[in-house]
Amino acid sequence: MSAADWMARLPQAVKDAPFFRLAIPGSHDSLSYSIRADAPLAPDCPDAVRILERLFGPVTRSILFKWSVTQSLSLSEQLQLGVRYLDLRLAMPAEPRGAARGKETQPHVVHHLCGDEVGPLLADADAFLAAHPLEVLIVDLQHFYHFCSDDHQQLVNHLSGLFGDRLCPYWPGATQEISLSWMQAHGYQVVLVYRCEEVRGLRGVWPGEALASPWPDVRKARALLGFLERGLAARDRRCGHVAQCVLTPRTGTVLPAGLCSDLRSGLAARCNKAVVPWLRARRQQRDHLNVAIADFVDAAFVDAVLNLNCSNPAAAVELPKIADKPHADVYL
């Protein structure tokens, strides 16, 4: 199966299954590769680090940088690898006191440090989708910092202009009714999950409850696997579910270890070494798993997730006919 076109190549029975029963590989803090070592601190940076940054300046930022970047592959490389879920946290840039924010001001990617503007980065996703018209991408906007109501509206307008008719509509019950084949037939390629009440109800915007994403907040692989097992067993099958296959460092661990270690070697490698076999062993239980995300995604992780779609028992589920529903003429 070609990873760049894996959705296009799925068996028809799997395409006809409920979309949120597919096994979909994703990346954690997907655009953090755009963060640089000399970047300013982001709004989500812990207070303890801010104090140290005032005392030690660039040294603190260089340590934090090693633990802020969660992906080494660019967005285009991730999509070519098979990633179909993006996890984003965004912040509006701080303006000088008394200065008005310009209408063209765009939010930046953040993860303790500030990365690039999100608009040009997501343009790469739109270009990929144009070249791969049967692929579908979930864009999950998880966290927002320094946003006002106008900023949310401006961002939705920008994303609507970028993705246009590729945006899949949402309606109550959509999580149980849509399938990949239905989306492909109508040219819908982007599920835009926007976890903020400010934009609820806007066309093409999916609310956060459509895709549950529980955070493990653990530092040991064994604790993580236990959390993931419990979460999958208890997940609500009426909506999507993100299995966050990541370990979370503590500030007290990062700063002492920062000079000789980083997120990849200190946690992510150990985490992925445990997660990939766990995913492979779930093949007989695959109807429980929907989206799985990891730090520093690679071919082994993506393949382990994609292989869960083989012999997919969820394909036996018969979906309601969307065209028979009273809202169908609004969305089709």
Q: CB-hemisphere CA count at 13 Å for 74?
A: 10
| H-run or E-run covering 60 | helix 58-68
H or E stretch covering 79: helix 75-81
CA dist 263 and 298 (Å) reads: 15
Query: How far is Cα of residue 94 from the mean position of the Cα atoms in its chain?
Result: 25
List the one residue out of 10, 13, 24 whose CA is nearest residue 315: 13
* Backbone torsions φ then ψ of 52, nearest 5 degrees: -65, -35
CA 218 from chain center: how many Å?
19
Sign of CA dihedral 285, 288, 294, 299: positive
Q: Helix-strand-coil percent breakdown of the chain, rounded to 5?
A: 45, 15, 40
**Whole-number Å distance between alpha carbons of 294 and 30:** 9
| Active-site residue (options: 111, 132, 241, 288) | 111
- Whether 111 sits among the annotated catalytic residues: the reply is yes
DSSP string for residues in 89-132: EEEPPPPPTTPPPPTT---EEEESEEEEEHHHHHHHHHHHHHH-
Of the residues 28, 132, 152, 241, only one is catalytic, namely 28
Determine whether 132 is an active site residue: no
Q: For helices 149-163 and 118-131, give the axis angle rounded to 10 degrees.
A: 30
Residues designated as active site: 28, 111
